[in-house]
Structure 1
Amino acid sequence: MRIKSIISLLGLGALLVVGCKSQQGKFEFLTPKSGETIVLGQKVALRMQFPDTTIDSVVYAVDGEVIGRQRDTAAVILDTEAIGLGTRNLVAKAYKGEKEEVAYSNVTIVPESPRQYTFEKLNDYPHDTKAFTQGLAFENGVLYESTGAGNQLISSLRKVELETGKVLQKKEFTGKSANGQEYFGEGMTILGDKIVMLTWLNNEGFVFNKSTFQQLASFDFQDSKEGWGICYDGSRLIKSDGSNKLYFLDPTTYKEVGSVAVYGSEGSQDALNELEFIDGRVYANVYGKDIIVIINPQTGAIEGQINLLGLHTNPSQPDKELNGIAYDKDTKRLFVTGKQWDKLYAIHVVER
C-alpha cells in the first residue's frame, strides 16, 4: 500500500510538473477574458501571461490598429471610450529575437443601462384596420402613413385625417420590381416638400411630391439590402434594415454615406424597425416587441427604452405588431399605432 501510494504521489507530481510547464509555455491574455462585456467609459488593463519575461517588446492592437508598445511585461490600459461600442478583437504580439508569439481575445463594449420610460395615454383615434402600417409621420395637423402588402392588402402611401382616421389621399403600389419581388411598402419620412419611402425586399426607395404623391425619383439600396424604417435628422436620412445598424443617406443623392451599429446594455440590438427623429435621438420600434428604444445616432448607444405593454387592448398577434411612430413637436405628443390596429394613440412619455 505504501509503495503504491508513493508511486501515485510521484505520478501526480509528474503531472503537476507537466501541467505547470505547459501553462508556463502559453502566451495568452489574463485580462480581459475572451467574450467579456465591458461598459463604455471603463479603462481596462490588458494583462498577459508571459512564458518568458525576458522579452524584447510587446505590441498590442485593437481591430488591427496598434494601441501600445511595451519593452516589458507591464499592462497596457485600454480606454473603451476611445474605441466605441461593439465587439472588438484584441491581439498581442510578443517578440524575442526572431521569435514571435501571438495571443488573441475579444470584448464587447456596451453602454450603461438605458433609462426606463412608460407612457401616459392622452387620446386615441380611429385607425384603418386595412392599414398594414410600416411608416408614420405627422405634419400640419395630418398624418402621413405608408403600408405594406400584408394579408392580401396592397402597399400604399396615405394622407390621413388624425381625428377621424379618414384617408384623404392614397397612392397604391402594385406589380414587381426588377428583382422579381412584389412591391412591399415599408417606412417613410417627410423631407421638406418630398416624401421618401422604402420598400422591403425590392432593394428600392421612392421619392414623391408631398402634395400630389407624384413620383419624382427612385434609388437603390447599397450596403443595407433591405428597407425597414427611415427618418430625417435635418441633414441626413437615417435608415434601418432589420439589423443592428442605422445607415446614413445623403438627402440629395440618397447614397449611403456611413453607418453606426446599435448596442444596448445587453449587447447588440437588431430588428430595428420604424424610425422617428426626435430632439437629437432616433426612436425605433423593435420588431415583434411592445417597446421603443431611444438611440444616440452619433454613438449607436441605446439611452432609453419606452415600454408600451398594455397600451393596445387587443392581445398582440402575428403580423399585428406595434409599428408606427410620429411626433407632434408643438404639443410634444407621440403618436403610435400598429399593423392593422383599430386605434392610433397619442401619448406622453414618462420616465419611471
Structure 2
Amino acid sequence: MNRRFKQAGIILAMLPILFVISCKTQKGKFEFVNPANESRILKGEKVALKLNFPQTEIDSVVYSVDGDIFERKTDTSSVVFNTDDFSYGNKRLSAKLYAQGKEDIAYSEITLVPPAPKPYAFEVVNTFPHDETAFTQGLYYDNGTLYESTGREGESTLRKVDLATGKVLQKIDLAANEFGEGMTIVGDKAYMLTWLNKKGYIYNKNTLQQVGSFDYQNSEKGWGLTHDGKRFIKSDGTNKLYFLDPVTLKETGSIAVFDDNGEVPNLNELEYVDGKVYANLYYGDRDEIAIINPETGLVEGKVNFVGLYDGKRAAVDNEFNGIAYKPDTKTFLVTGKLWNKLYEVRIKER
C-alpha cells in the first residue's frame, strides 16, 4: 500500500478516539459559554450568564466584574448580568467556582458599548485656496477672521488667514524645537497647544503676541483644543477628552469616548458646537469626524468626508485635519495637512 494512504488510514482510524477525548476534556472545563470572550454588549442589556460547569458537587459560585462581586450562588442556576449597573468600556467578567475543597475560575473579557452613531453626510458650499505648505493642526473662525495653527518642528506657527484668498495676513513662529498642535479663541486671546513639550501658549488674538503659558498635568501630549463656554476641552490622541479650568488651564477631569465598537482613539482637532464636540479622527485615509457628547463620552454621530479632497495625497502627513464653525451660516470650514484647498461644508443627517 502507498505509504501516504497507509498514514491517512491510521489518522482516520484515530479520529473517533481523539473526538471522544476532546469532548471529555471540553465537558469538564469550567468556562463561560455566554457571553463569549471579547463580546461587545450594548449597555442596558440584561445578559443571562451561561457557563460550562464540571460534573461535580458544587459548594458555591462567586460572580464578579473587574474584581467587584455582584452575585453569589450555591448552585449552577442562572445569573443575570445587568449591564445598566456598569460604565461603558472593557470589563472582565469572572466566575469563581468552589467545589470539593478546590477553586477554579473562568473569565470572559467583554466591552459595554452604546448604540451605533447616526451617520451624517456633507455638502460642499464653497471651496477656498489654502496654503499647501501649512501642516494644519487647528482652525478657528472668529467674526470674519480665520485663525490657523500649524505643526512640525521649525515650521510651527499661529497665523491669521484671509479666508477668500488663503493669504497669510499675520503669523508668529513657535520655537524651533516645538511642534504646534490645536488651538482655539476665547475672548481676546488665542490658546495653542504643543505636541510633546507638555506646554501650551496664550496669545493676544489681535497682535499674536504671547501673553502667557500653561503646563499639562495628566496627559503627555497635546492634540486638539476647544472651549464650551465654561471650560477648555483638550485631546491627546487617546480616546479621552480632558477638561481644563477656564482660568488656570489645569486639568480638572476627563471622560473616555466610546462608540458601538468600543474605545474611539486618535481624537485630534476639536470644535465645540451646540453642546457637542466635533473631533477629527486621526486615521490616515479615513477622513472622519466624530460628534461626541462631552457629558457622557458617547459618539452620537459620525461624518464621513472620504472623497472631499480631490488633490493628490501622500500616504502620511496629508491627513484630514482642521475644523472651524461659522455660526453666521451654520457651516463648517475643514481642510487637511498640506492641502491646497479649504472647504466650507454643511453637515446633515443621512
Identical-pair percentage? 55
1:141 paired with 2:121, answer no
State the distance in 2 between where 1:194 and 1:75 align.
60
1:174 aligns with: 175
RMSD: 2.7
Residue type of the alignment partner of 1:156? T
* Superposition map of 1:179-190 within 5 A: 182-190=177-185
1:295 aligns with: 292
SS at match of 1:72: coil
State the distance in 1 between where 2:254 and 2:228 align.
14
Q: State which of 326, 337, 340 in structure 1 corresponds to 2:338.
A: 340
TM-score, length-normalised on structure 1? 0.85
State the distance in 1 between where 2:328 and 2:85 align.
38
State the distance in 2 between where 1:121 and 1:241 align.
29
Change (3 A) 1:238 1:99: same
State the distance in 1 between where 2:67 and 2:208 align.
49
1:66 paired with 2:69, answer yes
Change (3 A) 1:78 1:209: farther
SS at match of 1:81: helix
1:4 aligns with: none
SS at match of 2:85: helix
How big is each residue's C-alpha offset from its partner over 1:175-203, in whole Å with a ceiling of 9 and x where there is no partner? 3xxxxxx1010001123333221111222
State the distance in 2 between where 1:13 and 1:114 align.
49
Q: Indicate conservation of the 8 Å contact 2:97/2:103, yes or no.
A: yes
Q: Indicate conservation of the 8 Å contact 2:135/2:150, yes or no.
A: yes
Unaligned segments of structure 2, at least 5 residues: 1-13
Change (3 A) 1:310 1:14: closer
SS at match of 2:219: coil
Change (3 A) 1:200 1:71: same
Change (3 A) 1:52 1:245: same
In the alignment of these two chains, the number of paired residues is 336
Q: Indicate conservation of the 8 Å contact 2:120/2:304, yes or no.
A: yes
SS at match of 2:185: strand
Change (3 A) 1:323 1:19: closer
1:163 paired with 2:161, answer no
Residue type of the alignment partner of 2:203? F
Q: Indicate conservation of the 8 Å contact 1:31/1:48, yes or no.
A: yes
2:280 aligns with: 285
State the distance in 1 between where 2:231 and 2:133 align.
32
State the distance in 2 between where 1:240 and 1:171 align.
23
Q: Indicate conservation of the 8 Å contact 1:34/1:107, yes or no.
A: yes
- Pairwise CA distance, 1:249: 2.2
Q: Indicate conservation of the 8 Å contact 1:85/1:300, yes or no.
A: no
Unaligned segments of structure 1, at least 5 residues: 1-10, 176-181
Q: Indicate conservation of the 8 Å contact 2:193/2:222, yes or no.
A: yes
- Pairwise CA distance, 1:79: 2.6
State the distance in 2 between where 1:164 and 1:351 align.
30
**Structure 1 residues 55-64 or 335-344, which shifts more?**
55-64
SS at match of 1:102: strand
How big is each residue's C-alpha offset from its partner over 1:120-165, in whole Å with a ceiling of 9 and x where there is no partner? 1111222222321101111212111111127xx6211112232333
2:265 aligns with: 270
- Pairwise CA distance, 1:349: 0.7
2:189 aligns with: 194
Residue type of the alignment partner of 2:325? Y
1:179 aligns with: none
* Superposition map of 1:40-79 within 5 A: 40-51=43-54, 54-79=57-82
TM-score, length-normalised on structure 2? 0.86
Q: Indicate conservation of the 8 Å contact 1:48/1:75, yes or no.
A: no
2:129 aligns with: 126
How big is each residue's C-alpha offset from its partner over 1:51-93, in whole Å with a ceiling of 9 and x where there is no partner? 2564343222212222223333222222333323222111112
**Structure 1 residues 292-301 or 127-136, which shifts more?**
292-301
Change (3 A) 1:160 1:12: closer
**Structure 1 residues 115-124 or 89-98, which shifts more?**
89-98
Q: Indicate conservation of the 8 Å contact 2:311/2:340, yes or no.
A: no
State the distance in 1 between where 2:196 and 2:280 align.
19
- Pairwise CA distance, 1:264: 2.8
Q: State which of 311, 315, 329 in structure 2 corresponds to 1:314.
A: 311
SS at match of 2:272: strand
Change (3 A) 1:323 1:90: same
Residue type of the alignment partner of 1:339? K
Q: State which of 222, 237, 254 in structure 1 corresponds to 2:249.
A: 254
Q: Indicate conservation of the 8 Å contact 2:317/2:337, yes or no.
A: yes
Change (3 A) 1:258 1:46: farther
- Pairwise CA distance, 1:307: 1.6
